[in-house]
Each structure stands twice: as C-alpha cells, then as structure tokens.
Chain A
Amino acid sequence: MVERQSTKLIRNIVTTIGVIIALFWSMAPVYWVAVTSFKRSREIYAIPPTLWPEQFTLDNYRAALFESPFLHYVINSFLVAVGVTIVSAVVGAMTAYPIARMRFKGRTVTARLIVTAYLLPPSLLFIPLFLVLQHLGLIDTKTGLIVAYLTFTVPFCTWMMISYFATIPKELDEAALMDGASRAQILRRVVLPIARPGIAVVALFAFTHAWNEFLYALVYAYSDDAKTFTAGLAGLVMGDTFIWGQLMASSVIAIVPILIIYIVAQRYIVEGLAAGSVKG
C-alpha cells in the first residue's frame, strides 16, 4: 500500500503510544502485586509507595507457604483441577464424537443442549446444586467440587472438541469402518491421536477454569481438606485486617501455574478461544 512518509510516521507514533498505554494498563496491576509481595510490611504501607522494594524479602512467601494453610489449599485446587480435567476430557471426547460424526435422532437437540449448558452461568446453578450435593453427602469434599465443576467443563470441552473433530477428514472414519473397526476403536485409534493438540488445549482450558473457579468453591467447601485457594484467599480477605504482603505473595504463587500454561500455549489458546466461541 502506498502511504506518504509523514502519514506513516504519524501512524507509527500513534501505534507506539497506544501500545505502551495498552501494556501499562494490562501489566501495571500484575506488577504491583508482584512488587508488593517482595516488600517488608513497613514498606508496603509506606507513603509514598516505592516502585521497587528497598529491601527485598521473601518473608511474605515464607508466611504464605509455611505459616498458613495456603499451600494446602493450592494442593486441593490442583487435585480438583486435575480430576476435573481428566473426567471432562474423556467425557467431552465421548460426547463430541457422535455429534461430529454419527447420525442419530436428536443430534441437533443434543448439540443445542450442550451449547446452552456451556453458556449457563454458575450463578444460576449454585443454590440448587448445593442441595443436590448435600443429598449425595458431597458438600465440603473435593469430589463434590469436581462434580460441580463438571457442569461447566463437560459442555465446554464437548463444544470445543466438536470443532476440532470437524477438522479431521470424515474419510478416515469411513475407511476404518469399512475395515471393520468399531466406533469406539475409531475414536481411540484414529480420531483422538490426530486431535491430540486440540485436546491438549481443551484440557488446559478445563484445568484453568477449575483452577480459577470461585463461587462453587466458596459455597461448597469450607474445611481445610476441601477448600481451594480461591475460597481460602476469600476467607483471608473477609476479615477486617488484611496482611497484604502475605496475600500478594499467595497471589503470585497462585498465578504462576496458570501463567506457565499461558506462556507455553498462548498462540493455541487465542486460536482455540476464537474457534470455540465463533463458528460462522
């Protein structure tokens, strides 16, 4: 495209300023959390605030990890998220396959129900689901949380896997059918291996969703054995005095696993997000 030199210059300047503002806006709060977590408590409450810790300390991390049940909560979060990820990946693949490939009565209705369930917000479900879990004796257990999280991860995983399966040529299935393979074998030996990268992304999404969830965790888990870190932190915040240094150190610890996932899979996540929510 032909552009005058001066237009191009203005355009570059505007872009640069805009990008700097965008980066400041998105990074400043995260930076502030991280910096606070390394300050001594006197410095944390000092005015004016310091941009960089005068005296770098790991005390807040020590307090968060060893002097509070936070580490226990993180482990709970991890176990719950792993459980949710495994079940929803398996069930998601099993559900997505027939919708993507087979012909049966109610296929359209099923697809519609899945999208609806995916869009259904947890805040609509948390009260009655509490009663269901109570009946099953699953309140205040990690299993109960896993079950609760499946209500959004299974529809979500299914929905995203349908799009991944759709990218795999149908002819492969048909050829395997001709060779006498059963549908279960086709899914396991033909479709899943090809869809592996897509499934990895879907699993990461499920893990992240479960790791980050708060409302169900708050309502269904209250003992240290079941509490996830989100609910655990809420417990710390609802008191009157906040130990900001320790809270910020806990925050950094809780962000790290997700950040690693995010950095490794950033490109796929953006693509997956776009593919999952927009079809057509």
Chain B
Amino acid sequence: MASKTLPEGFSTPPVPVRPRRHRPDWLMAYIFLAPAAAIFAAFIAYPLVDGVSTAFTDRMIAQGGEFNGVSNFVTLFSDPGFGRASLNSLMLTLGTVAVKLVLGLTFAVLLSQKMPARGLIRALAFLPWAVPGMIASLSWKWIFDEQSGVLQYLVLQLGLSDRPIYWLSDPSVALFSVAIAMVWQGLPFFTMMFVAALASVPSDLNEAAAIDGAGIIRRFFSVTLPQLRGVIAVTVMLSTIWTFNSFEMVYVLTGGGPAGRTHILPTLAYEYAITQSQLGLGSAVIVSVIPVFVILIFLLTQRMLKQDEA
C-alpha cells in the first residue's frame, strides 16, 4: 500500500526499485466501478426502495404522507379500474408478443432468402424500429383518426365494414387498435433478432435433412426452429418486459380512455400518481406488478449471463 502516494505509478523517482508499483487490481476495480455504483445507489436502488415504501403511505405530490398499511392495496383491489388495467396489460402483452413472434419468424425467414438488394430491403423492413415511439404513436393516431384517417377510408372503401369504425373511441375496438400499433412498432426487434440468429444456424443439418427428403416446412420446424430456441426465449422475455411497460402508445392513442377502458398498469399508475397527485396509490400499482418482473428479470439475467460466467 506504499504506492498510495504515487497515483499513476509513473511519477516515481528516476530509478524505480520495483517495476510494478500499482494499486492492487481489486482496489482499482472498485475505483473504476465507483461512478456507476453512485448512480446505481442514488437513482436506481434508493428510488426503488422508496417507491416500495411509498406504496404503503398516503403520500401526495406536495406533502409527506403517513404510513397507512395496506390500505392502498385494498383500495386498488376493490377498484374495477385496476382489475381492468391488469387484464388489459396482460392481454395486450400476451397478444402482441405472440403475434410479433409468429410474424417475426415469418419475416425473418423471408428476409433471409437470397434476393437482390437484400441489405436495403432489410433496412426498410426494420424501419419502424428506428422511428421514435412518440412518433410511431402519433402516426397511428393519425391513421386511426375517425373522420379523416386513412384506415377509416380504406375499410369503408374495401367493403370490410359497412359503417365507420371508431378505432380509438369504441371501447371494444380501442385495445385492438393499440395492439396493431404496438405490433408495428415492436415487430422489427423480433425480425432483427431472428435474422441474426438464422444467419448463424449451420446449413449442413438443413442440407442433410433435405437429402433425407424433408420438405421445406418440415425442415423449418424440425431442424431450424429447435436451434433458434435460445434466441426465441430471450427475445420473447425482453419484449414481454418492454411491451408490458410501453407507456406512450396507450397514452397518446387513447389516454386510457374511453372512460378508463384502455388503461394499462403504467398509464393507470401515471393517472393516479401524477394526474391526481396520489403518489402512494400510484406506487401501489407499480409495486403490485414487481413480483412479475422479479421472476422475468431473474430468468433473463440467468440466460444472459450464462456465457459470461462460464
């Protein structure tokens, strides 16, 4: 520890007695990690703990609030709005992730075929990924516009419906509209991941199966698909987390309306905590979903760190 006065180890007297006079590796490691640790402690860990404890108080935005036990949770669980938001979140997540998985696989297989200008075609197919979420939400709000929206016109013109569809204000349709927009926005991530994964699937197995007489569809399901299992698992889990928490699509498209029918848990939390300034109740909404995330994140870190720890 004598080297402590010589920060870099290079400003030593002209003739160094020992060539290496550095701080021990473990100490340097901690110094390197310090800034990230400070950010983590102050802006992630502390707020998380604070958020959980706020859920057990009647805290409002402007005032401190007192401990009120589980009464926020009692309020929530007897509130039909919370039940509906949970169900909406669940259906929207499961529905869109399933559609994105199937379409993503299909698009990835298509885009992996030999074709002219494949790079350009891929870039264009991935385009929605590059569109900021806010802009994606706005675009779809314009497309779904009930008077001048292009979709209204197309549907009536193509005879798919004989009366106007209230894409965003009909409670039975609005969630479906949100889902369409979310699939549009989230699909490229699936396609990109699967395109990358398909490129790394060794082709000799596939060729062997072809020689054995397996058709193209058979080969996909019994040779290619099993090799994508790992990528599919990670992609689905990541997308589940992101989709479950995507806020802007619902916020911009419907604002949770009509009459709270399209709220999902994040927009409901926002409504309680920020719009109505009931921080305690808003935190309770979030705390009630934490267990789901703990499980998902645990499973994902397990997978993502596998190689690192090997």
Contact = CB atoms under 8 A, between A and B. Distances in A.
Given A255-B131, A279-B308, A124 B113 contact: no
B300 interface: yes
A278 B115 CA distance: 27
A122 interface: yes
Contacts of A185: 8
A180 B19 contact: yes
Interface of B: 8-10, 16, 19-20, 22, 25-26, 28-30, 32-33, 35-36, 39-40, 42-44, 46-48, 50-51, 54, 106-107, 110-111, 113, 115, 119, 121-128, 130-136, 138-143, 145, 147-148, 150, 153, 157, 184, 187-189, 192-193, 195-197, 207, 210, 216, 230-231, 234-235, 238, 241-242, 244-245, 247-248, 251-252, 255, 265-266, 269-270, 273-274, 279, 282-283, 286, 289-290, 293, 296-297, 300-301, 303-310
A270 B192 contact: yes
B247 A274 contact: no
A44 B148 CA distance: 8
B147 A22 contact: no
Contacts of B242: 121
B26 A127 contact: no
A125 B123 contact: no
A219 B143 CA distance: 27
A115 B157 contact: no
7 contacts: A26-B184, A128-B46, A128-B283, A131-B54, A230-B133, A242-B141, A254-B134
Nearest to A136: B42
Chain B facing A: main interface SS: helix
B245 to A, nearest CB: 4
A108 B133 CA distance: 34
B117 to A, nearest CB: 10
B173 to A, nearest CB: 18
Nearest to B136: A29
Contact of A112 (B16, B143, B184, B301): B301
Nearest to A117: B44
Contact of B128 (A30, A47, A122, A279): A30
A277 B115 contact: no
Given A1-B210, A121-B244, A259-B130, A127 B283 contact: yes
B188 A182 contact: no
A116 B265 CA distance: 21
A240 B123 CA distance: 36
A48 B155 CA distance: 12
Contacts, number: 310
A1 B126 CA distance: 29
Contacts of A1: 207, 210
B247 A214 contact: yes
Given A105-B26, A124-B293, A91 B39 contact: yes
Given A29-B139, A45-B148, A120-B44, A128 B54 contact: yes
Given A45-B148, A215-B266, 12 more contacts: A29-B128, A30-B127, A33-B135, A91-B36, A95-B32, A102-B26, A110-B33, A119-B301, A121-B242, A121-B245, A255-B130, A261-B130
Contacts of B297: 116, 119-120
A91 B40 CA distance: 12
A18 to B, nearest CB: 4
A91 B35 CA distance: 7
Given A22-B110, A124-B293, A33 B142 contact: yes
Contact of B142 (A151, A247, A258, A274): A247
A125 B303 contact: no
A82 B10 CA distance: 34
A280 B306 contact: yes
A162 interface: yes
Interface in A95-145: 95, 97-98, 102-105, 107-108, 110-117, 119-132
Contacts of A107: 29
Interface in A144-178: 147-148, 150-151, 154, 158, 162, 177
Contact of B113 (A15, A27, A123): A15
B142 A244 contact: yes
A95 to B, nearest CB: 4
Interface in A233-273: 233-234, 237-238, 242, 244, 247-248, 251, 254-255, 258-259, 261-263, 266-267, 270-271, 273
